Amino acid sequence: SDGDKLAGRHGNKGVIGKILPVEDMPFLPDGTPVDIILNTHGVPRRMNIGQILETHLGWVAKAGWKIDGSPDWAANLPEEMLEAEPGSIVSTPVFDGAREDELQGLLSSTLPNRDGVTLVDQDGKAELFDGRSGEPFPYPVTVGYMYILKLHH
């Protein structure tokens, strides 16, 4: 409900400001609605890169991926990381983990959805549409999967 407090794994926290019906929420080109919209000022102001990394890796893990050929960015990846089914479990060390080029490569190697469409670009952004008007937003938006916990106090 409005005013409930939420927190993520990276020290990010916030309060629910508004709850909309699912049909009013922004949606992806395949019709998938967005569950939660985070305040964009909370990430760069706090330099909380962990939540961006989790969001991108969450999308990659949910979609699955297949790396074709031998791109330079994948040279240090273990053999078992070259391909993964949708819903795979992914983890990376905190300080010596996935590099930006590896993450961009994985994002560009994600498997298409059931309609054959890859919804997210190599920057982890997707075209979103306004749930009320159906019009596309003017700029791509970062989308992905992230663990969020409701705090009880």
Q: Which of 141, 150, 49 is nearest to 94 (CA)?
A: 49
Whether residue 131 contacts residue 47, with contact meaning beta carbons closer than 8 Å, is answered with no
Instruction: Please give the Cα distance from 105 to 37 (Å, whole number).
Output: 25
Q: What is the pLDDT of residues 82-131, one digit of tens each?
A: 899 999 888 888 778 888 899 999 999 999 988 888 999 999 999 999 99
Looking at residue 33, its pLDDT comes to 95
- Give the pair of three-digit tokens for residue 142: 């970062």
Domain that holds residue 45: 5-151
Distance CA 146, CA 52 (A): 9
CB 13 within 8 A of CB 5: yes
In tens, the pLDDT along 50-72 reads 888 899 999 999 999 999 888 99
> Residue 18: which residues within 8 A CB-CB, separation 6 or more?
2
Of 89, 143, 100, residue with least CA distance to 119: 143
* pLDDT > 70 in the chain, percent: 99
CATH number (domain holding residue 34):
2.40.270.10
Task: Report the C-alpha dihedral over residues 82, 85, 89, 94, rounded to 10 degrees.
Answer: 30
Which pLDDT tens digit goes with each residue over 31-41?
Answer: 999 999 887 77
Radius of gyration of the chain, Cα coordinates, nearest whole angstrom:
16
- pLDDT band for 28, please (50, 70, 90 cuts): very high
Q: 77: pLDDT confidence band, cut at 50, 70 and 90?
A: confident
Beta-carbon count within 10 A of 85 CB? 11
What are the DSSP E strand ranges found in the chain? Answer: 5-7, 13-15, 65-66, 83-84, 125-126, 141-142, 149-151
The structural domain count of the chain equals 1
pTM over 0.85: yes
Residue 100, classed as helix, strand or coil, is helix
Amino acid 12: pLDDT:
84
